[in-house]
Amino acid sequence: MLTNILRRYPNSKQMIRFTQRIILRENLRKQRPF
């Protein structure tokens, strides 16, 4: 999923930051059950 997004926008730094935010959000969600 993330790799596909990076392939679509290889030169977009904003897109990379956006994906990183999603990853961090998912990690926090896994750590906290609520």
Who's near 8: CB < 8 A, 6+ residues apart? 15
pLDDT band at 13 (very low <50, low <70, confident <90, very high): confident
Task: For residues 34 and 11, give the distance between their C-alpha atoms in angstroms, rounded to a whole number.
Answer: 35
In the predicted structure, residue 29 carries a pLDDT above the cut 70:
yes
Q: What are 19's two structure tokens?
A: 């994906």
Who's near 5: CB < 8 A, 6+ residues apart? 15, 19
pTM of the model: 0.47
Q: Please give the residue that has the higher pLDDT: either 32 or 6.
A: 32
Q: Please give the residue that has the higher pLDDT: either 2 or 29.
A: 29
Residue type for 19, please?
T
